[in-house]
Amino acid sequence: MTVTARPKLAVWKFASCDGCQLTLLDCEDELLPLSEHVDIAHFLEASSAVVEGPYDVSLVEGSVTTQDDVERIHRIREQSGMLITIGACANAGGVQALRNFADVQEFRSVVYARPQYVATLAESTPISAHVRVDLELPGCPIDRRQLIGVLTALLAGRRPGLPVHSVCQECKLRGTTCVTVAQGIPCLGPVTRAGCGALCPAYGRGCYGCFGPMAKPNTDAMVASLRSLGMSPADVARVFRTFHAAKPEFRAAAEQGERR
């Protein structure tokens, strides 16, 4: 990517809770300085002023769930130098990808009295299922420090680096006693990608995998550990089938959990 003097940033939304784009507005100390270095050209949640593309960087939140979405993400890709997906919905289909394991027609009739008014696709899919993605920022929601780190790297003309190791290493760095070893609490930390700062164990809770799978997770051993800590096959399947249900590693782990 060629970074111009004041690069143009766009923020786009698909099916989501708005939390990942809110993370940008949650950078209270950095927002105004950032706006001096970056032209926030398209960010509807924050401004009605819209600058036409092309854009140097597009941040894309949300998953693809309608035919309109499919067409829109292609138009966004064409206008974007670098396309970064932000969060579990954009990276993996999000919690709404639970429909992928069910009959969406039935889902529609449970929520809506007149399901024919509601247009939707059978599956909630990640952005990468439709267009090339240059970088995935993990998390449900994404981490503010990682977001600032990525934007800073891009402004400096560096390729941003994101950890692909597990939450376990963050616990060690933080000095948190292992909740599984010390208290027998089931924890997805060994297979979950770092980035949150190992929040849940620091609060005495097992990681629930909201940053998605780390690189090459040993989900076999994870499933065995969860079972030995007393979780039922159905519990194990559900814990992998929540916010990253459609990520291949967690999808396989859920199926494996069900079989045991």
Angstrom distance (rounded) from CA 87 to CA 129: 15
Interface with another protein includes 170 (CB under 8 A)?
no
Tokens of 150: 């990525």
Tokens of 15: 């099916």
Choice between 124 and 256, CB closer to another protein: 124
Interface with another protein includes 19 (CB under 8 A)?
yes
Name the nearest CA neighbour of 93 among 121, 134, 55, 53. Answer: 121
3-class state of residue 15 by DSSP: strand
Interface with another protein includes 113 (CB under 8 A)?
yes
Choice between 1 and 119, CB closer to another protein: 119
- Residue 185 · residue 216 · CB < 8 Å: no
Choice between 12 and 81, CB closer to another protein: 12
Interface with another protein includes 200 (CB under 8 A)?
yes
Name the nearest CA neighbour of 136 among 245, 211, 40. Answer: 211
Write out the binding residues for another protein, residues 39-58 only, by CB under 8 A: 40, 43-50
Q: How many residues does the chain have?
A: 260
Sole binder of another protein in the list 18, 71, 78, 220 (CB under 8 A): 18
Sole binder of another protein in the list 6, 13, 130, 227 (CB under 8 A): 13
Interface with another protein includes 117 (CB under 8 A)?
yes
Interface with another protein includes 148 (CB under 8 A)?
no
Stretch that binds another protein, among 17-25, 128-136, 215-223, 252-260 (CB under 8 A): 17-25
Q: Distances in Å between the alpha carbon of 29 and those of 41, 45, 145, 185, 198? A: 20, 19, 12, 36, 23
Distance between start and end Cα atoms, the chain? 47
Helix (H) or strand (E) holding 90: helix 88-92
Sole binder of another protein in the list 196, 214, 236, 246 (CB under 8 A): 196
Burial of 113 (0-12, 13-18, 19+ CB in 10 A): exposed
Interface with another protein includes 104 (CB under 8 A)?
yes
Sole binder of another protein in the list 7, 9, 11, 16 (CB under 8 A): 16
**What is the binding site for another protein (CB under 8 A)?**
13-23, 25-26, 28-29, 31-32, 35, 40, 43-50, 65-66, 69, 94-96, 98-99, 102, 104, 106-108, 110-114, 117-120, 124, 140-141, 196, 199-200, 202-205, 208, 210, 235, 238, 242-243
